[in-house]
Amino acid sequence: MSERVSVIVVSYNAQDLARACLASIPTGPELLVVDNASTDGCADMVAAEFPGARLMRNIENVGFARANNQALRQANGELVLLLNSDAELRPGCLAALQSAFAAHPKLGVAGPRLLNPDGTWQPSWGDFPTPVTEFLFQSYLYKIWPTRFPYDRHISLWLRRAYGVFQWVDWVTGAALMLRRQVYEAIGGLPEGTFMYGEDVEYCARARAAGFGVAYVPTASVCHRLQTSSRRDYARWIENYTQATLAYYRQHSTPTERRAVARWIIAGSTLRRLLWMLVGLTFPVRRQEAQQRNQGYRRASLLAREVLHAL
């Protein structure tokens, strides 16, 4: 447990969340904060209230992956924790993660137990996505069909036993992801091909391909509030998520699988547009949200059609 630890936090227009996040980090680890051109005074807050942090002020929002890679290039720790600005470490979290790395020499990437603000367990790991998981998501069948690919804020009852013990898994979420420096040296940084979303799944896929293990460590806990500024712009959120999904399949699937996924996205986006049209007509207070979501799902369909045309 003697490895030096670096903690990287990327923030964008989340001053209050970032303050709580940084305050939860104990004294000792190297702390690097990348501010993605926030307009809410977040960078100034970090400079004033956390003078020990190494602050990088970007002049534009370069996205989640590029911002983390900025800090990864400068981090000195043998272990590096990538921590969302809407997450807070619980006492003993870093020590528990360090213990896991010390106990498992092949462990390259690890994620802690994620908690909702009410203390319930939040999905934080899963199997790699497949055309089947995409079908379950787009058809809404994931609401009733057990799957180890997480979608909701709460875990399925049938997964509670698995979430109670250490697990070797396919991937862990980037909300709180610790990696060995050797992983970064071997495979590089997070993928920068998409603005945000999906970097964790793709990164863990590359880490596993390079011979490193990925694990869930429930003895370490993080509260994740899931209140990032990106979700206020529903159209962009949906577009970014779809881009990330398709980018993953371009790298890690066959043409047949990509074709199936693209078709499920088109079908699912059509279904969601119809449902949100009804929401907008029925609930005037949600009309603006419905319009944004419809715009996002229209763009998602176009992105999927581009994949089909390219095959």
Question: What average pLDDT does this structure show over 198-207?
Answer: 93
Per-residue confidence band for 1, with pLDDT thresholds at 50, 70 and 90: very low
Question: What average pLDDT does this structure show over 48-74?
Answer: 96
Question: What average pLDDT does this structure show over 18-32?
Answer: 97
CB 224 within 8 A of CB 116: yes
Per-residue confidence band for 150, with pLDDT thresholds at 50, 70 and 90: low
Query: Hey, how many other C-beta atoms are within 10 angstroms of the C-beta on 169?
Result: 22
- Sequence-ordered strand ranges (E) for the chain: 5-11, 30-35, 54-57, 79-84, 87-89, 107-115, 121-122, 125-126, 167-168, 171-172, 176-180, 213-224
Per-residue confidence band for 195, with pLDDT thresholds at 50, 70 and 90: low
Question: What average pLDDT does this structure show over 234-263?
Answer: 92
Question: What is the model's pLDDT at position 153?
Answer: 67
d(CA 254, CA 22): 42
- Whether 108 has a pLDDT exceeding 70, the answer reads yes
**What percent of the chain lies above the pLDDT cut of 90?**
79
Which range, 120-124, 157-161, 205-209, is most confident?
A: 205-209
* Buried residues in 289-298 as b, exposed as e (16+ CB within 10 A): bbebbbbbbe
Lowest mean pLDDT among 143-152, 155-164, 203-212, 221-230: 143-152
The candidate with the shortest Cα–Cα distance to 240, out of 285, 195, 270, 276, is 195
Question: What is the model's pLDDT at position 109?
Answer: 98
CATH number of 5-225: 3.90.550.10
Question: What average pLDDT does this structure show over 200-221?
Answer: 96
d(CA 153, CA 141): 16
Question: What is the model's pLDDT at position 182?
Answer: 97
CB 255 within 8 A of CB 262: no
Question: What average pLDDT does this structure show over 280-286?
Answer: 94
Helices and strands in the chain, H and E counts: 11, 12
- Whether 233 has a pLDDT exceeding 90, the answer reads no
d(CA 19, CA 309): 46
Q: What is the domain partition of the chain in residue ranges?
A: 5-225, 233-310
| Pairing of β 213-224 and β 107-115 | parallel
Residue 18: burial class (beta carbons within 10 Å; 0-12, 13-18, 19+): buried
